[in-house]
Amino acid sequence: MIRVRYIPQVGLPGRHLSYAWEGLTLTAALYRGGEVVGQEVYDFSDLEPGDEVVNVKPKALPFSPLVSAKRIDGETLEVVLLYWHEPGDEPELGEEEIVDG
């Protein structure tokens, strides 16, 4: 199980972030007007219980949309990601999203 929490942040004009999971691998894509302009791939499969990832240096994007990831136990991964929104339109986000990883 993957528990995902989002942190709202005003995004760059005309751009948005999208996330896709495949098992314990996360792909974060940056779009400009519907076209992918960059992607980061994060593979969490090697994390052991108690391992935590923070301050990830991006390879393809000018920033890292991954704030942190922590393996809680053998079955649970907690991930914190950026959630971009338009200025003045901050979303109401739930406590967390559960992803079957």
**pLDDT for 61-76, tens place per residue?**
989 999 999 999 988 9
DSSP string, 18-84: EEEEETTEEEEEEEETTEEEEEEEEE-TTPPTT-EEESPPPSSSSS-SEEEEEE-SSS-EEEEEEEE
Average pLDDT over residues 17-29: 95
Q: Which domain holds residue 25?
A: 2-99
Beta strand 2-10 with 25-32 is unpaired
Q: How many domains, in total, are found in the chain?
A: 1
> What's the rounded Cα separation, in Å, for the pair 46 and 51?
9
Give yes or no for residue 16 having a pLDDT over 90: no
Predicted pLDDT at 93: 67
pLDDT score for 97? 80
Quick one: pLDDT at residue 9? 86
